[in-house]
């Protein structure tokens, strides 16, 4: 929540920032948050850990660390509007023209939610047509032109429906996308693991987001400890 209106955003934006993948000024785009004088930004800060292709394990960082990094990125996206605020060191390079200061914030963590879109990964996405008779795949993990997202899932569903419709009229299936040979080789030695299972009853336990307290952080460490290991190592090295 900012103390004044940001003038550069009037719709949902996909960002050129390596950390803020998508953002919107909710005071403009949603009537529930409408405010003619102040902006309320909602942002997707991702990727949040090395597991998702990022360079920093943000999931294990404090809310203040995450907000400082966010403010630093916002100075790049709104170079003439975000103020130089002593509370957030990442804004230290801002000039006198920027006036907007942060009033309050909330951080909602969704582990393993959004991954880094790096070159060369689309070859690992399977086609909607599969080698198993009558088995068709959909979902943002399948081969389609968007990120792992709602848009990607919608497009993948449309492509899967086309496969089924094509079969229904008696046409041959489209070619199955080739599976990379090293994936086939690795599958021969794969050892299934027992799932960790659901820890707790909060949103994170079921794949959602949550504003973390100590209880939620403890449960997440139990179910997904690797998210915190790198962050703990970083803290230890900095001391």
pLDDT of residue 89: 96
* Share of residues in the chain with pLDDT > 70 (%): 85
pLDDT of residue 129: 94
For 208, counting Cβ atoms within 10 Å of its Cβ (0-12 exposed, 13-18 middle, 19+ buried), the class is exposed
Helices (H) and strands (E) in the chain, counts: 6, 3
- Give this prediction's pTM: 0.68
- pLDDT, tens digit, 9 for 90 and up, residues 166-195: 999 999 888 899 889 999 999 989 998 877
> Higher pLDDT residue, 9 or 178?
178
As a whole number, the mean pLDDT across the chain is 84
Rounded CA-CA distance 210/63 in Å is 12
> Higher pLDDT residue, 202 or 142?
142
Give φ, ψ of 13 to 5 degrees: -125, 135
- The three-state secondary structure class of 51 is helix
pLDDT-based confidence at residue 229 (cuts at 50, 70, 90): low
> Higher pLDDT residue, 203 or 62?
62
């Amino acid at each position: 929540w900012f103390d004044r209106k940001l003038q550069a955003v009037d719709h949902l934006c996909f960002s050129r920032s390596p950390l803020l993948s998508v953002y919107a000024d909710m005071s403009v785009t949603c009537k529930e948050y409408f405010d003619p004088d102040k902006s309320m930004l909602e942002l997707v800060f991702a990727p949040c850990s090395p597991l998702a292709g990022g360079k920093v394990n943000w999931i294990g960082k404090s809310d203040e660390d995450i907000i400082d990094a966010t403010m630093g990125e916002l100075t790049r996206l709104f170079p003439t509007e975000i103020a130089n605020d002593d509370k957030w060191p990442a804004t230290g390079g801002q000039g006198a023209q920027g006036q907007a200061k942060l009033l309050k914030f909330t951080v909602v963590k969704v582990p393993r939610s959004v991954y880094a879109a790096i070159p060369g990964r689309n070859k690992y996405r399977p086609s909607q047509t599969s080698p198993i008779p009558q088995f068709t795949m959909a979902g943002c993990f399948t081969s389609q032109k968007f990120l792992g997202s709602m848009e990607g899932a919608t497009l993948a569903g449309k492509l899967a429906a086309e496969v089924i419709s094509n079969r229904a009229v008696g046409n041959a299936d489209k070619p199955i996308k080739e599976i990379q040979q090293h994936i086939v080789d690795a599958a021969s030695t794969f050892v299934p693991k027992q799932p960790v299972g659901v820890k707790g009853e909060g949103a994170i336990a079921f794949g959602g987001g949550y504003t973390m307290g100590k209880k939620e952080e403890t449960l997440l460490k139990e179910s997904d400890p690797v998210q915190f290991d790198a962050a703990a190592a970083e803290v230890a090295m900095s001391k």
